[in-house]
Chains A and B, each alone.
Chain A
Amino acid sequence: MNLSDIIFAPVFLPLLGSVLAFLGKAFFKDHGAKLIEYSAVLIGLGLPWIVLFYLLPSMLSGTVIQLVIGNWLGGVGVIYRFDGLAWLVDFLGFSIAGAAWIYTLGAGPKGPGFSAVFLIQTAALAATAMTVDLFNLFVCLEVLGIASYVLIASSEKPGAFLASFSYLMVSATAMVFFLVGLLGLYRLTGSLSYEGIASGLKILPRGGGLTANVSLSLIAAAVAMRVAVMPLYGWLPDAHALAPHAISAVLSGVLIKTPLFALTRILIIIPEGIEIGRLMGYAGAATALVGVIIALAQKDTKRLLAYHSISQIGYIVSAWGAAVAAGLSTPIGLTLMTASFLHAMYHALFKGLLFLTIGTTTDLAGERDVYKLRGAATILYRGGEKFPVTLFCFLVGALAIMAIPPLNGYASKAALSYAFKDSWQASFLFAAGIGTTASFIKLSRIYWPQRKIDQAAPEAGTVPDKVHISIQISQIFLAIMCIASGIFASRISLIVKKLLSTGIIDTNRVPPNLFSIQNLEKTAITVTAGIVLFLIVSTRPGKKILSLIRNRPRNFQGLFLSFSLGMFGLALWMIYKS
């Protein structure tokens, strides 16, 4: 059992778990099936942690394991690579999936079939982060996609089927363009692995010229569709708002980040990739701002959170794009990439927490509209929560996303502003921070006590069902992770930097001092500006503008129009730059 076999454990253990779950579903009646399902999930989500911590020391020392599956020769086989980046994405994936699955014990879809598809999705996450072969990336993204279509549709809400249908159609079309891009690169280089393609393109005159640039932009556009960057985010709000709470936590936390880091592997090796990274970075910064503005306008709580995921993804992609443009071997690039991954991880934690807490509250209260719902704290209290766990966890999540000092949101946003120093992206992100604060004050209004006493006590008949213990456990777990990663931020960022640098260990820490006056001052400005913006927004004209933004015309072919224009823009940018 040497090292090169163990790296496949994060992919294979969830698969073994899903096999067990399917066997339990086929062979046993409900009682036996539940027992097997729990053991399957224990194997699928529990054991990989042991493997990850076993691999950590060797990853920290920068060892990279790259091998051909089935050790075939001749460059025909599928090549796999396990390094710091893959370890980090696995860590992110398993932590959020574990917390989300515990949540589904309380509320949300159950059953061995659901757990099996959930485990297959986790296995696909681990495989996508490790693959260094273009067609294998296609298959992994398809497995990821089909698992998430089924999981979104498992919430049995009518709107969820529409969201799953449009997500399916758009990413199936994007994957066809991925295949066309793959054809272009295979025709030029005769190989499917990233090294083969990169070496093939270097030999060709002008680096493969027009065909290579356009094929690369096709592939990048198809993967960017799943990352919901600026023009291509149309499918995300419905999908994340209408999926079951645990699934939207996994979707927002992990599923829109893994393709981004899988794309990193392509863009680092292939010379033209730098230009794609730069353009996606610019698009990311724009997304951060636009996402927050639309989020501010939303009525439905989960849709507000979904648009926030888009804006936070904008933060991550802007830092990631600048890192790819600067090149990962340079110190600046490394700092940017570390800041980007830090924010990706912290965002997964607090966004997952927010989705779970808001989901529980709106389920209990039966009302999802931010303007109508009030006094959720009392509803939660009546719902059997002696100690207000959900309220406390919501506060942790909200303060984290608003970048309040002790919590992890503050640390990652400080890292981002440190990495960007004073470039124009930093001001975009700063403005987006203000918008975030305003929208989360608006969201927290659902917990404010009832002002109008005439609000009839909720009809006696509908006693809100109890808040299940497992819901509280998953929320507390995520809240603790948020607080801990906030406090130990500088040490975690050092570990992330070492893992990403694969060998060249840079000694200086990312944010020299996290709580420098300059950072604290910036936070104070953000909070005050946020409150001011919130007050402006709740005025009469403010509401009119917001409702204008909210019901802007959105239709099915709009998704495809934005996809084709985004791809065309990327191709133009590549041709112009080369």
Chain B
Amino acid sequence: MIERILLIILFLIGFYGIIAKKNIIKKIFALSILNSSVVILFILEGSKIGTNAPIMEEGVKNVVDPIPQALMLTAIVIGVCITALALAIAFRLYRYTHTFDIDEIHRKLHDEPF
């Protein structure tokens, strides 16, 4: 129960970071924190029903649920790909506007002739 409360706090920190932080690199930090918090939630919930790692050595019984683990492999890699692309775009935004502040970028880029 306490773990779930802590995880919800971690999730909200990630979401807060995306909304409130002005610096786009910090927004990307927050996005990767948000992604990690969901991954931890899946693995934490999945490990409640077993006591062994899902490697079927001889006589291994009562194994943890492997499905969420397989799903989270994909989710982690997708999260990192999105982060890498976001950073490349942030890099190009910096080269145009020389700032990471989202409001300044909005001001500079919004009314420039397309």
Contacts and interface: CB of A to CB of B under 8 A. Distances in A.
Q: Do chains A and B touch in the complex (CB under 8 A)?
A: yes
Interface of A: 76, 135, 139, 142, 146, 149-150, 153, 157-159, 161-162, 164-165, 168-169, 172-173, 176, 179-180, 183, 186-187, 192, 241-242, 300, 302, 368, 555-557, 560-561
Contact of A146 (B85, B92, B96): B85
A466 to B, nearest CB: 23
Contacts of B86: 165, 168-169, 172
B67 A76 contact: yes
A300 B71 CA distance: 43
B82 A168 contact: yes
Contacts of B75: 179
Nearest to B32: A172
Interface in B42-81: 42, 45, 67-68, 71, 74-75, 78, 81
A555 B81 contact: no
B109 A159 contact: yes
Given A142-B78, A179-B75, A153 B92 contact: yes
Cβ-closest 5 pairs across A and B:
A158-B96, A557-B19, A162-B109, A165-B89, A161-B92
A192 B70 CA distance: 13
B13 interface: no
Interface string B9-33: 0000001001110001001000100
A15 B24 CA distance: 33
Contacts of A150: 85
A556 B89 contact: no
A11 B86 CA distance: 27
Nearest to B111: A551
A172 B82 contact: yes
A457 to B, nearest CB: 22
B74 A183 contact: no
Contacts of B18: 169, 173, 560
Q: How large is the interface on B (under 10, 10 to 19, 20 to 34, 35 or more residues)?
A: 35 or more
7 contacts: A149-B89, A158-B109, A159-B112, A165-B90, A165-B93, A169-B18, A560-B19
Contact of A241 (B19, B27, B96, B114): B114
B31 A169 contact: yes
Given A165-B86, A168-B85, A176-B35, A183 B41 contact: yes
B71 A176 contact: no
Contacts of A139: 74, 78
B89 A168 contact: yes
Contacts of A159: 109-110, 112, 114
A359 to B, nearest CB: 11
A223 B14 CA distance: 21
Nearest to A156: B92
Contacts of A173: 15, 18, 31, 34
Contacts of B68: 183, 186
Contacts of A302: 114
A368 B78 CA distance: 37
Given A142-B78, A157-B114, A560-B18, A162 B93 contact: yes
A180 B45 CA distance: 12
Interface in B81-113: 81-82, 85-86, 89-90, 92-93, 96-97, 102-103, 105-106, 109-110, 112-113
B103 A555 contact: yes
B67 A169 contact: no
A176 B35 CA distance: 7
A156 to B, nearest CB: 9
Nearest to B81: A146
Max chain B CB contacts within 10 Å: which of A135, A149, A176?
A176
Given A161-B96, A169-B31, A183-B42, A153 B20 contact: no
A168 B112 CA distance: 22
Max chain A CB contacts within 10 Å: which of B27, B85, B86?
B85
A155 to B, nearest CB: 10
A183 B45 contact: yes
A189 to B, nearest CB: 12
A556 B105 CA distance: 11
Contact of A162 (B31, B35, B106): B106
A231 to B, nearest CB: 16
A556 B45 contact: no
Contact of B71 (A135, A146, A560, A561): A135
Contacts of A157: 114
A173 B42 CA distance: 17
A149 to B, nearest CB: 6
A102 B67 CA distance: 43
Nearest to B37: A176
